[in-house]
Structure 1
């Protein structure tokens, strides 16, 4: 029983980390073009 709980916790941690990584990548993907446009206009 403890093993299954640990497995669920591990899966949850990996899931949250992957979700966080996807959000960070999406944020960078949206932020970089704006930054390039901003530096280009200046």
Structure 2
């Protein structure tokens, strides 16, 4: 599966940081399967 994110850098192993906050769209690593959605 190919995933896209808002950078031109390849991320082989994203580091996920656990937080105690329950925010919508808070800290995280967001991806999309469509190459133009991340722009």
Task: Report the TM range for the smaller structure's normalisation.
Answer: under 0.3
Higher relative CO (CA 8 A, sep ≥ 6), structure 1 or 2? 2
For normalisation by structure 1, the TM-score amounts to 0.18
For normalisation by structure 2, the TM-score amounts to 0.19
Structure number with higher helix proportion? 1
